[in-house]
Structure 1
């Protein structure tokens, strides 16, 4: 394996499961690059003050504060991530919110969410489904935890754009948007729209779905 391939493999691993110092550096970089789509995903939830919402696979945590602002006062945000490094960083950054009870941070992944049935008014998950083998199960989990009428916003980059990135050759599962939409429907969610972030052929996709009322 070449040095370049080894670097790209390591980068791909950190993007999927950030760990240690390198993971924290990658997460800071992602926070900058992902800010616009994450803010758009929060907006697309339509969440209101007093509601229960979640950021699943929150990574560097850039979506947590906008969700807290969105549901304040009286609401609650659940942050779920598979990486202990990201959970530790979020616990330090949001220690007052955790202490006040407005934010809960828990370990978990998309296919086994640590949340009760029908407990959320809305959830977001951005740039996560590339790392999930059984994405149908992940969407069924989203359907399980959403209240009737609750909204899921699933963010993913354009598949053609992703395919051309050098690190996505190492373990990323890149699916056509049409396939992802059908899997969302197959999980029992009502697909509402594919909302682009930015313009052009490679716009970021926000796939907005709703649990049947």
Structure 2
């Protein structure tokens, strides 16, 4: 599973298309797997996670970046991001859509915090695959790729796409650009 997660993380990061001037937000960063690379490639990184313990751990681990104003970490939910409007160039969330209460609300919030022209990337295993894993229904909500696509489109993202690196990959990303 870790190899699969590493491939999805890498693919999602490639699809977000970071440039050195970017202000990036990662929603649901949990174990902070992508944060080191985000910090290497972007001018500023904000991490939002529902767990205060995760936020505290990241604040400690990346204290130097926080101290110089290149990173910050906040507790919050994707449906109500504790961030100002039109602040970020890129938004990334991997393996989190299963925990969102609402795809529409989460997509609308990501749209709100991105600047016009900003890019969003959501990486996840689709419902068909999650259903075979028998994940606990009280914790996981398997998501159909086209529902995620529709939620981004309905939130105002242009050119939403479902992307897979190959037909063999179980996972995928859904991308969009803020109008």
TM-score, length basis structure 1: 0.78
Max Rg structure: 1
Matched, 1:42 2:9: no
> SS of the counterpart of 1:140?
helix
Output one character per residue of 1:12-63: Cα deviation in whole Å (capped at 9) or x when no partner: xxxxxxxxxxxxxxxxx86x65222122212111121122111111010011
Give the Cα separation in 1 of the matches to 2:97 and 2:78: 8
Output one character per residue of 1:57-109: Cα deviation in whole Å (capped at 9) or x when no partner: 101001111111111xxx10001101112112212221211112111111111
Give the Cα separation in 1 of the matches to 2:140 and 2:96: 10
Matched, 1:116 2:84: yes
Q: How many residues align?
A: 179
- Give the one of 122, 139, 148 matched to 1:171: 139
- Matched residue, 2:153: 185
> SS of the counterpart of 2:30?
coil
- Matched residue, 1:204: 171
Deviation at 1:195, TM superposition (A): 1.7
Contact 1:181 1:191 in 2 (8 A): no
Give the Cα separation in 1 of the matches to 2:40 and 2:8: 17
Give the Cα separation in 1 of the matches to 2:17 and 2:33: 18
- Matched residue, 2:40: 69
- Matched residue, 2:122: 154
RMSD (Å), alpha carbons: 1.8
- Matched residue, 1:57: 28
Give the Cα separation in 2 of the matches to 1:199 and 1:208: 18
- Matched residue, 2:69: 101
Output one character per residue of 1:149-188: Cα deviation in whole Å (capped at 9) or x when no partner: 0000011112211111133433311122112211111111
Contact 1:157 1:203 in 2 (8 A): yes
Give the Cα separation in 2 of the matches to 1:167 and 1:206: 20
Deviation at 1:197, TM superposition (A): 4.2
Instruction: Structure 1: state its 5+ residue gaps.
Output: 1-28
TM-score, length basis structure 2: 0.92
> SS of the counterpart of 2:85?
coil
